């Protein structure tokens, strides 16, 4: 049995409480709803991002976010096994919902400390996956449980998040190396993971946390991490999502498609053409890309929420 999703943390409705796959929301059914025109996301009052802010919103905003919300805000992302079967061993792909026991690290595995990247022999014959913007580990542990042959390099530029991830009882240095890194900074991640080694880079609601100006650098760094033929697996916000349409109260439009939340974090809403262009002009080809439309129910508040995300797979074709 998968653990029940955690209770709603009573966050505000129009900021994070209405946000992506957080605790307390439950998928009801795929809704037949009218898709708003892509242009409905833009316009409105605009706020400039000041010089103190940078490629991922306001300085320190994500550290503050995790310090305040702790580890219980986002749901564990068990459903990634269904959305991205390529991350599972072949024998698991027909049964992505199977329960897998928690990891039980051997205490001796910690002998090199938590700051030492894994030795080559630990990585030998493993499926190498780099998880960009890992947060506190909601994606990495469910995936690692399901694929014993996987090794994850999980990084986030929030030290608070990485410290949470490393202090998880399932943190096993023979299966995962978590570190602080900035996806938009040239070579920040490749200097630790190496170039051209990873089979996959996952971007789970991460690219949207960057300003559009810093996205090409992030895609180039992902490209450098991947082997030729390796892929980026992405799931993120899409234009027309409710969190974007309700751009009032806790969010402020900064530029077309870009919102700033009250806590200083930002969210960009992608459309298919723009996202394709971003990757295809930086050494990738599109394997698939589509919108995901969902009707979600917040049972506590008795409201229906029409959500729209984007899922894509991009294969590296050139350096
Ligand atoms: C919406 S959260 C998603 C977290 C996690 N992927 C998940 O699905 O639960 C976005 C994450 O991206 C991280 N992030 C934002 N900008 C980043 C950057 N430039 N480099 C690395 N991580 C970044 C944030 O710290 C935050 O943990």
Instruction: From residue 18, give the alpha-carbon distance in Å to each of 126, 254, 304.
Output: 38, 19, 11
The pTM is what? Answer: 0.85
Question: In this predicted structure, what is the pLDDT of residue 39?
Answer: 38
**Ligand 1 centre from 19 Cα, in Å?**
14
The CA distance from 166 to 177, in Å, is 8
Q: Which ranges constitute the DSSP H helices of 124-241? A: 140-146, 159-166, 190-193, 215-225
What does the pLDDT read at residue 301? 74
Domains of the chain, each with CATH number or no CATH: 16-316 (3.40.50.150)
Ligand 1 site-directed mutation target among 75, 180, 206, 214, most atoms within 8 Å of CB: 206
Spacing, Cα 132 to ligand 1 middle (Å)? 7
Tell how far CA 52 is from the center of its chain.
24
User: Per-block average pLDDT, block size 10, for the chain (319 residues)?
Assistant: 28 42 42 38 41 62 92 85 95 90 86 86 95 96 96 97 96 96 95 97 96 95 97 93 62 74 88 96 97 82 81 94
Distance 108 CA to ligand 1 centre (A): 30
Q: Any residues with Cβ below 6 Å from ligand 1, and which?
A: 55-56, 62, 74, 77, 133-135, 138-139, 156-158, 161, 182-184, 204-206, 209-210
pLDDT, residue 73, reads: 79
- What's the confidence (pLDDT) of residue 297? 76
In the prediction, which pLDDT does 246 show? 65
223 CA to centre of ligand 1 in angstroms = 18
> Nearest to residue 258, comparing CAs of 204, 213, 217?
213
| C-alpha–C-alpha distance, residues 160 and 171, integer Å | 15
In this prediction, residue 16 carries a pLDDT of 56
**Residue 109 alpha carbon to ligand 1 centre in Å:** 27
Nearest atom in ligand 1 to 185's CA = 19
């Amino acid at each position: 049995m998968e653990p029940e999703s955690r209770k709603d943390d009573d966050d505000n409705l129009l900021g994070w409480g209405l946000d992506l796959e957080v605790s307390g929301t439950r998928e009801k059914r795929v809704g037949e709803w009218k898709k708003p025109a892509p242009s409905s996301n833009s316009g409105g009052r605009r706020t400039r991002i000041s010089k103190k802010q940078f490629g991922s919103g306001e300085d320190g905003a994500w550290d503050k976010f995790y310090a305040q919300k702790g580890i219980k805000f986002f749901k564990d992302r068990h459903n990634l096994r269904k959305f991205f079967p390529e991350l599972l061993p072949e024998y698991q792909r027909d049964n992505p919902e199977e329960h897998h026991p928690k990891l039980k690290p051997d205490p001796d595995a910690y002998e090199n400390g938590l700051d030492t990247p894994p030795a080559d022999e630990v990585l030998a014959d493993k499926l190498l996956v780099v998880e960009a913007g890992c947060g506190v580990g909601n994606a990495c542990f469910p995936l690692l449980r399901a694929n014993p042959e996987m090794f994850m390099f999980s990084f986030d530029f929030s030290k608070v998040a990485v410290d949470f991830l490393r202090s998880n009882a399932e943190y096993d240095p023979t299966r995962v190396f978590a570190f602080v890194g900035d996806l938009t900074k040239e070579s920040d991640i490749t200097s630790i993971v190496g170039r051209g080694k990873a089979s996959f880079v996952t971007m789970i609601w991460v690219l949207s946390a960057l300003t559009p100006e810093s996205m090409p650098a992030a895609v180039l760094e992902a490209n450098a991490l991947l082997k030729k033929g390796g892929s980026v697996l992405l799931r993120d916000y899409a234009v027309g999502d409710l969190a974007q349409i309700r751009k009032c109260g806790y969010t402020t439009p900064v530029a077309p498609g870009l919102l700033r939340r009250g806590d200083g974090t930002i969210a960009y809403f992608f459309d298919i053409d723009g996202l394709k262009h971003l990757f295809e002009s930086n050494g990738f080809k599109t394997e698939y890309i589509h919108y995901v439309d969902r009707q979600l129910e917040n049972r506590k508040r008795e409201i229906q929420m029409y959500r729209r995300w984007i899922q894509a797979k991009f294969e590296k074709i050139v350096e």
